[in-house]
Structure 1
Amino acid sequence: MRERGRTRRLLGLGARAGGAVLRTRLGGEADWQALGEALFEGLSELKGPAMKLAQIMSQWDDLLPPALAEELARLQRQAEPMPWERIRATLAAEYDDLEARFTEIEPRPFASASMGQVHRAWTPAGEALVLKVQYPGLAEVLEGDLSQVKRLMRLGRWLKVPQARLDALFEELAESLRGELDYRAEAAALARYRTRYAGWPGLAFPEPVEAHCTSRVLAMRYLPGTPLRELEGDDGARRQALATQLADWLTEELFVHGELHADPHAGNFAVDDAGRLVIYDLGAVIRVAEARLRQLLALLEATLAGDALGMETAVLAMGGRQGQGAPLALYRESAEAVAPLFAPGEQDFGDVRVHRRLRALSPKVWAAMDRLQPPADTLLLARTLNGHYWNLVRLGARLNMHERSRPLLAWGRGEVGVAALSRAPTAPV
């Protein structure tokens, strides 16, 4: 009965969202604020995959109507917690003797997310831990939720996205969400990243405590930090140091290790008292093939050269585009919008003129989607990179992207090896 009620709620929210999209397609106006409030209230209570999808959508700051994006963004920081009694039941089911393991667990969580929430706990030895506890019954409702999410994604057909590409995107999202249910896998990822970046003094990752980890509970040593979203009025020098560290880490992740942290909402990043960039939640890490990176760099190089025909060639090489007539005018406008971020010298990621150009370009991109058709396996990557970009914007990053991109483009052309791309503190750059 509870599952049927959940399905009805999701269908109702989907119908409301579909109605808003349809009104705009027919030339009308939608109340995005009201839709956002309804989605926040409903998804905050339901949790699970649908809430996760809404959090992902909220990171598309340059595509969604601002009122809708603002409401969805609340799901990253203000989601309603699940009652302690249900969370405690999960803990009791995971541990043979809960009281023997922990002398105290705070009933009130200090973080609530789509798939679980975080509580502080203390061991008999007095050690402070945090327990990320998966919401009870999530595995049982996952597939039902995913089927409703798939229905919601059919709205993409109104934007002229072929069903085959929607299906491929859905499978990518579904695989990611199923993987997030295994907290042992996240514990392994934390251990891997802590080893990988042990020589980076400006980075910090929570340490998993294997003895207390299960498939539904991730136990970590307490690593406090101030979330990035709370740093807007902070000291400019500290924000620039964090922005540089974030940009260096992303370069290292993508080009040296072929991986990418795929849940880039601001709540997963913080700064600790030592000024280190703290990276939480490694439940979603995606592999990025070297061949795909080289193709993306070819597209970037053509974009920075303002070469519309070169951009078309690069998109075709990635497996995108269909139909007749390359959108050359759109390629040129895209190049003009992106080029300022890569101009010689230090560029300000907080420059609203760049954001306005990108936002103004978005409707034209959607209108040409029937011809553009980006490959399905680049959509999650693009969404993830977009989320990391907006974290740099929130930090007010000032970076010399011209100099940063030069070795990457040279690697894409096969002129230098991967060692030239490393941003590791001990590596020559």
Structure 2
Amino acid sequence: MRERGRTRRLLGLGARTGGALMRTRMGGQADWRALGEALFEGLSELKGPAMKLAQIMSQWDDLLPPDLAEELSRLQRQAEPMPWEGIRRTLVEEYGDLDEVFYDIEQRPFASASMGQVHRATTLDGETLVLKVQYPGLADVLESDLAQVRRLMRLGRWLKVPQARLDALFEELSVSLRGELDYHAEAEALARYRRRYAHLDSLVIPEPLPEFSGPRVLAMRYEPGTPLRELEAGDDDLRQRVAKTLADWVTEELFTHGELHADPHAGNFAVNDRGQLVIYDLGAVIPVPEARLRAMLQLLEATLAKDPMAMDEAVLKLGGRQGQGAPLALYRESAEAVEPLFQPGEQDFGDVRVHRRLRELSPKVWAAMDRLQPPADTLLLSRTLNGHYWNLVRLGARLDMQARTRPLLAWARG
């Protein structure tokens, strides 16, 4: 009965979305703000795959109507928490008598996400930790939810999103959600990242606590911090130090270790009172093969050279071109749009000229998507890097990208 109820609600949200899209196709006006509010409320309560999809879509602010994207972006930072009673049942199933393990568990979550929420707790020894608790019953309905989400995603064709891109997005979503249910793998990732980046004094990775963890609860040492999004109007020197740490870390992830933290929304990053960047939630870590990195840098080098033929060759090598490829003029315009970020010296990631050019260019990119069909691994990598880019934008980063990319380009040619 519960599964059928979820299905009916998902279908209801899909019907409302479809109605709004139909009105726009018929030349009418859709109330995207009202639709966004309805989706926020419904998906916040249902959690799971549909909420995760909406979070992913909201990161592509050039894909959705602005009012809809703004409402869905709330799912990144203020999703409605699950009532304590359901979370408590899961904790009791994991620990037994909670009073024999914890002095206190805060009923109000520290953070809420699509697959679980985080509660601060105090052990009997007085240690403060956080418990990432999987939403009860989610594993049982995951595959059914994914089937309904696949149906909902067909509506994307009304936004002129190519089927190949929708299929790739669905595969990304499926792999990501199944992986996020594996708390043992996330604990291993936390331990691996702590060892790997111990030399970076400006970076903090929470310590997993196996003695308090289980299949549906991941315990970590509490690492407080100010969320990244709250730093946007803060001290400039602090923001620049954090931006440099973030850029250095992502570069080392990719080019030294061949991995990437693949859930880059701003809620997974904070800054503590010592000015260190705190990285939460390693439930999604993806491998990035060296061949993929070299192909990406080949595309970057061709882009910086404003060589459309070389850009097309690089896109083909990445596996993202079909048929005759995109118009050469589109390649030229793309190169001109990103050029300001790679001028000599420090460049401002908050430069609105870059954002404006990219937004103006996006309809042309979508129009060429029948010839530009990125495979699933390229789509996931692109979305992840895009998310890290926007975190640098939020910080108002000023970075010398030409100096940073020069040795990487030399490596790719070697």
TM-score (norm 2): 0.96
Q: Which residue of 2 aligns with 1:343?
A: 343
Residues 288 and 149 of structure 1: is their aligned pair in 2 closer, same or farther, counting only changes over 3 Å?
Answer: same
Matched, 1:78 2:78: yes
Q: Which residue of 1 aligns with 2:204?
A: 204
Question: Structure 2: how far apart are the matches of 1:343 and 1:19?
Answer: 46
Write out per-residue CA displacement over residues 31-83 of structure 1, whole angstroms, 9 at most, x where no aligned residue. Answer: 22122111101101111111111111121234332212211111112111111
Matched, 1:45 2:33: no
Question: Structure 2: how far apart are the matches of 1:308 and 1:23?
Answer: 38
Letter in 1 for 2:388: H
Residues 326 and 268 of structure 1: is their aligned pair in 2 closer, same or farther, counting only changes over 3 Å?
Answer: closer
Moved more, 223-232 or 151-160: 151-160
Letter in 2 for 1:222: Y
Shift of residue 353, structure 1, vs aligned partner: 1.2
Q: Which residue of 2 aligns with 1:13?
A: 13
Write out per-residue CA displacement over residues 122-180 of structure 1, whole angstroms, 9 at most, x where no aligned residue. Answer: 11111111111111001011111111111122234446666455434422321111010
Q: Which residue of 1 aligns with 2:193?
A: 193
Residues 309 and 29 of structure 1: is their aligned pair in 2 closer, same or farther, counting only changes over 3 Å?
Answer: farther
Residues 26 and 248 of structure 1: is their aligned pair in 2 closer, same or farther, counting only changes over 3 Å?
Answer: farther
SS of the residue corresponding to residue 371 of structure 2 reads helix
Question: Structure 1: how far apart are the matches of 2:388 and 2:145?
Answer: 27
Write out per-residue CA displacement over residues 366-424 of structure 1, whole angstroms, 9 at most, x where no aligned residue. Answer: 1111112222321111111111111000000000101111111111111xxxxxxxxxx
SS of the residue corresponding to residue 186 of structure 1 reads helix
TM-score (norm 1): 0.93
Q: Which residue of 1 aligns with 2:262?
A: 262
Matched, 1:284 2:284: yes
Say whether the 8 Å CA contact 2:242–2:276 is kept in structure 1: yes
Moved more, 10-19 or 31-40: 10-19
Q: Which residue of 2 aligns with 1:424?
A: none
- 1:23-422 alignment, distance < 5 Å: 23-25=23-25, 28-158=28-158, 163=163, 166-324=166-324, 326-414=326-414
Moved more, 10-19 or 336-345: 10-19
Question: Structure 2: how far apart are the matches of 1:24 and 1:340?
Answer: 35
Residues 25 and 311 of structure 1: is their aligned pair in 2 closer, same or farther, counting only changes over 3 Å?
Answer: farther
Question: Structure 1: how far apart are the matches of 2:143 and 2:232?
Answer: 39
SS of the residue corresponding to residue 286 of structure 2 reads strand
Write out per-residue CA displacement over residues 271-322 of structure 1, whole angstroms, 9 at most, x where no aligned residue. Answer: 0011100000000111111111111111111111111111111111122222
**How much identity, in percent, do the aligned residues show?**
80
Residues 287 and 23 of structure 1: is their aligned pair in 2 closer, same or farther, counting only changes over 3 Å?
Answer: farther
Residues 221 and 33 of structure 1: is their aligned pair in 2 closer, same or farther, counting only changes over 3 Å?
Answer: same
Shift of residue 241, structure 1, vs aligned partner: 0.3
SS of the residue corresponding to residue 139 of structure 2 reads helix
Q: Which residue of 2 aligns with 1:425?
A: none
Write out per-residue CA displacement over residues 258-281 of structure 1, whole angstroms, 9 at most, x where no aligned residue. Answer: 111111111100000111000000
Shift of residue 334, structure 1, vs aligned partner: 0.6
SS of the residue corresponding to residue 372 of structure 1 reads coil
Question: Structure 2: how far apart are the matches of 1:410 and 1:205?
Answer: 31
SS of the residue corresponding to residue 207 of structure 2 reads coil
Question: Structure 2: how far apart are the matches of 1:70 and 1:76?
Answer: 10
Question: Structure 2: how far apart are the matches of 1:345 and 1:62?
Answer: 28
Question: Structure 1: how far apart are the matches of 2:173 and 2:50?
Answer: 11
Say whether the 8 Å CA contact 1:303–1:311 is kept in structure 2: yes
Letter in 1 for 2:347: Q
Say whether the 8 Å CA contact 1:159–1:367 is kept in structure 2: no
Moved more, 244-253 or 309-318: 309-318
Say whether the 8 Å CA contact 1:112–1:118 is kept in structure 2: yes
Question: Structure 2: how far apart are the matches of 1:273 and 1:377?
Answer: 37
Question: Structure 2: how far apart are the matches of 1:340 and 1:60?
Answer: 21
Say whether the 8 Å CA contact 2:161–2:366 is kept in structure 1: no
Letter in 2 for 1:202: S
Instruction: Show structure 2 runs of 5+ residues with no match.
Output: none
Letter in 2 for 1:48: G
Residues 22 and 311 of structure 1: is their aligned pair in 2 closer, same or farther, counting only changes over 3 Å?
Answer: farther
Write out per-residue CA displacement over residues 155-209 of structure 1, whole angstroms, 9 at most, x where no aligned residue. Answer: 3444666645543442232111101001111111111100101111000011111
Instruction: Show structure 1 runs of 5+ residues with no match.
Output: 415-429
Question: How many residues are paired up?
Answer: 414
